Structure 1
Amino acid sequence: MERLDMVMDVGDVPKKSKWFMLSLQHLFAMFGATILVPFLTGLPPAVALISSGTGTLAYLLITKGKIPAYLGSSFAFIPPIIAVVGDYGVPGAMVGSFFAGLSYGLIALLIGAFGLDWIMKVLPPIVVGPVIIVIGLSLAPTAIDMAMNVDGEYSGLYFSAAMVTLLVTVIGSLFFRGIFSLIPILIGIVCGYLYSLAFGIVDTEAISATWSNIIGAGSVGEFFGAIFVLPEFVIPFKDYSPFEVMNLSIFWMMVPIAVVTIAEHIGDQMVLSKVVGRDFVKNPGLHRSIMGDGVATIISSCLGGPPNTTYGENIGVLAITRVFSVFVIGGAAVLAITFGFVGIISDVIASIPTPVMGGVSILLFGIIASSGLRMLVDNKIDLGNNRNLIISSVILVIGIGGAMIRFNIAEVNIEIAGMALAAIVGVILNLILPGKEAGYGEGQMFAEETVEEKE
């Protein structure tokens, strides 16, 4: 059933005079959150932009151009990427992302063959909700450290920059209307950046150098050479050998997170279907949209970027503008790729002070944790039920406490830790404990969220 109030349908091509601005809105909506992921994990932000753009184009192709969804950097993978990079370097994180993408593909094939019921039994709200809470709360120390510390020492100036950023973001989330209500993160970062610039905690040396090269270009070739630069891609078989990096510990640290992001993906598809007025779960099919996510993550891993996932911010843009055209989404993807090659944009992103990103992180990571709590509430999960209480309690303590198991198989050391272990234990407990129906609650699995339209 199609929406009567739509401005542009899924297959409509926008007029050239409006195409750029419509696509730019989607880019701005995902920009703040997408660059935060590489900022925290040590990956190049330019590569994250390029991988989100290429991943989105692949997603549109796999879903036959029927789902107007933009893909950006996934927050769920932040903790495991940080852990893997610390132990195995960036190549290790890319191998883990590749395996996570393959797991998406496997689940997509299983859904295509056997339907959706089986995954709902494996991932009921009593498992997914607490794991999402773990994702947000496990990142809390990182956000606070970024917000107030310099080299491990407290800084009042840094903390003030974080609080200004947080305050503007909160005000924007509550009081901004129209398209501005969808980019409070970006506006908060800009205001925090300007505050930091005024107090001298922004390093503008790289920006100045790039700008000088642009201004001082003596030819057209030098001019374009100063503007466009090659990002720091990390490409397999060129920059590293995947077979030398491949490790079962990396697999177990990264792949289990995919079960949570897939559950979130299903929720996003339901929300998107409600906004657009079409059942994307049936046509082109959930198996295609999950496969699109998986291929996008695989592409990102081959470029050196973080795993991709569908973005709620961009669903919000669709809800407000009623422009559902996949050509607008594709235009945003092309812009993201282009911006990734613009050197001065990369320099500006790199110059954003740590406390500014820490300020928005306080809100974003809290929202992630709260969304897990919301899943439990929306599905009316009864925590007075001992089975539900046991599963949620074990997941929370294992995940937030940083529990791990280590063992050796064929002289290979394997470590499963934190969030990955919590997700695995949660799934196992749900499958073996009696009274499984209590884990679904009284609401709908992957409850359809209501995207509030602000005018």
Structure 2
Amino acid sequence: MTSSNTTIATGVNNNAVLDVEDKPSVKLWGLLSLQHLCAMFGATVLVPYLVTGGILANDPDATGLSTAIALITSGGGTLLYLCITGFRIPAYLGSSFAFIAPLISAAVAAGLPGAMFGAFCAGLVYIAVAILIRFFGVSWLMKILPPVVVGPVIMVIGLGLAPIAIGMATKGAGDDYSALNLSVALFTLVMTLLFSLAFKGIFSIIPILLGIICGYILALTLGMVNLSPIASSNWIAVPDFTFFPAVFAEGLPWFVLPLLVPVALVTIAEHIGDQMVLSRVVGRNFLRKPGLDRSLAGDGIATLFASLLGGPPNTTYGENIGVLAITRIYSVYVIAGAAVLALSLGFIGKISALVSSIPVPVMGGIAIALFGVIASSGLRTLIEGKVDLNEKRNLLITSVILVLGIGGAELPIGQWATLSSMAFATLAGITMHLILPGKETAGDSDKSLG
């Protein structure tokens, strides 16, 4: 059901600097794409670092995930996603944090190819859900996700990432508090804000990239940048791909499926949340057109592609949604350019080393702005959805979602999986909306995302 003043988006966003179908000028294209690359780089390469560390801690002779392959599968997966969605959703896909612990457990138990087999099957879950939506429609989803549920969930997505941003900005060696790191992070944040608000022209279009450059220069003068990996890297470096079909010769490790497949249900919920945020930011209802089925299928196929090459499963990235919100440049061509850059970096050793030399506090300053923008989009959903928080029902639903999500309340499912706090909060909000009395009088009865 659709309500005229409560849809997730109506029409085209007239405030866009570049809209979804617009092509940037040749001069700006590379810079705009590089800005998105910088936003996704830290998180995308962090996942294989963490997985590899966990695997080697249990088995020093095992093989870990490659950061270069993660970049290649991120870029290639994003290009596949754009093709499947008809180049109508400006979303970037990077390594999923939700799969870190399951990948470690599966790799220790069955080797890296076995873990990739489990990740492949998790991607198939996306495809299955997309097919169900294709045949049975998405109206049921619209009815159970009114603004009183959607708004707080979007806020949880942004605010749930806040500790990560603060940790990146404040933690030094040994996870101890570092005033120096905080100073660099705040300097990066301030410069980004200045370029975004106080400057015009090209400076206001690429504020995040310029903020990273300024933060990098400051960190370099303070001796926080290690340049030796850049000097020792080769220009061309082909990573060692891990092809999971190699396990076919010895039989498929079916026992890894309970470790990885259930995680797909959680990341699907997160994917839907990201699509809600993206729709609010861009001003178009991507759940309707090109459709949630295409979006989920694109995400699933990107994960299949990653697992075939030995990369971590992909997911849509909130960092890049934050870039869209700040710059108001929604062009899919810019996203595609970032994907090509990421894919290329997987084979160019020195450039990959240069980007990876960006200090963590510099990216922490950027993350403070990006994650906050996502949370603010959730607040806007409540306001524009005319959710009356004077109504006890709306107030309770909103409050429970926020506390469960931001508080990190996870829900164990048997011995093999855990529902993330964001997914748990979403499920709780939907359940409360459906069973609590007073839905017709709470001022939110017919409001949906569609």
Using structure 1 for the length normalisation, give the TM-score: 0.74
CA distance 1:342–1:8, shift in 2 (3 Å)? same
Unmatched runs of 5 consecutive residues or more in structure 1: 211-225, 448-455
Instruction: Output aligned runs, 1:100-179, within 5 Å.
Output: 101-150=123-172, 151-179=174-202
Residues in 2 aligned to 1:96 and 1:389: alpha-carbon distance in whole angstroms: 41
Match of 2:429 among 414, 418, 426: 426
CA distance 1:11–1:160, shift in 2 (3 Å)? closer
Residues in 2 aligned to 1:170 and 1:242: alpha-carbon distance in whole angstroms: 52
Partner residue, 1:214 = none
Partner residue, 1:203 = 226
Partner residue, 1:398 = 404
CA distance 1:27–1:404, shift in 2 (3 Å)? same
Partner residue, 1:215 = none
CA deviation profile, 1:274-323 (whole Å, cap 9, x unmatched): 5xxxx9777655533442233224323444245232754786799669xx
Instruction: Output aligned runs, 1:250-399, within 5 Å.
Output: 250-265=260-275, 268=278, 285-302=291-308, 303-305=310-312, 307-309=314-316, 311-312=320-321, 330=336, 332-399=338-405
CA contact (8 A) 1:129 1:373 kept: yes
CA deviation profile, 1:228-252 (whole Å, cap 9, x unmatched): 1134656535599983673546545
CA distance 1:54–1:281, shift in 2 (3 Å)? same
CA distance 1:117–1:140, shift in 2 (3 Å)? same
Deviation at 1:206, TM superposition (A): 0.5
CA distance 1:58–1:239, shift in 2 (3 Å)? same
SS at match of 2:244: coil
Unmatched runs of 5 consecutive residues or more in structure 2: 1-10, 50-65
CA deviation profile, 1:396-448 (whole Å, cap 9, x unmatched): 2222222234354xxx444334223222222222232234457884997449x
CA contact (8 A) 1:51 1:300 kept: yes
Match of 2:235 among 224, 227, 236: 227
Match of 2:88 among 47, 61, 67: 67
CA deviation profile, 1:336-377 (whole Å, cap 9, x unmatched): 311221111221122222221222222222222222222222
CA distance 1:330–1:396, shift in 2 (3 Å)? closer
CA deviation profile, 1:56-83 (whole Å, cap 9, x unmatched): 33234324x4536352337xx54x3455
CA deviation profile, 1:174-231 (whole Å, cap 9, x unmatched): 2343454343222222211111110111111111222xxxxxxxxxxxxxxx311134
SS at match of 2:393: helix
SS at match of 1:165: helix
CA distance 1:228–1:262, shift in 2 (3 Å)? same
SS at match of 1:200: coil
Residues in 2 aligned to 1:136 and 1:282: alpha-carbon distance in whole angstroms: 23
SS at match of 1:227: coil
Deviation at 1:128, TM superposition (A): 2.7
CA contact (8 A) 2:80 2:301 kept: yes
Match for 1:287: what amino acid? D
CA contact (8 A) 1:48 1:306 kept: no
Pair 1:189-2:212 in alignment: yes
CA deviation profile, 1:80-102 (whole Å, cap 9, x unmatched): 34555676679699678656644
Match for 2:160: what amino acid? S
Residues in 1 aligned to 2:220 and 2:302: alpha-carbon distance in whole angstroms: 36
Residues in 2 aligned to 1:162 and 1:386: alpha-carbon distance in whole angstroms: 40
SS at match of 1:73: strand
SS at match of 2:374: helix
CA contact (8 A) 2:159 2:372 kept: yes
Deviation at 1:35, TM superposition (A): 1.0
Residues in 1 aligned to 2:287 and 2:420: alpha-carbon distance in whole angstroms: 33
Residues in 2 aligned to 1:355 and 1:233: alpha-carbon distance in whole angstroms: 31
Give the fraction of aligned pairs with identical amino acids, expressed as a percent: 41
The answer to which of 232-241 and 352-361 deviates more is 232-241
Residues in 2 aligned to 1:110 and 1:266: alpha-carbon distance in whole angstroms: 19
Using structure 2 for the length normalisation, give the TM-score: 0.75
CA contact (8 A) 1:25 1:317 kept: no
Residues in 2 aligned to 1:318 and 1:445: alpha-carbon distance in whole angstroms: 28
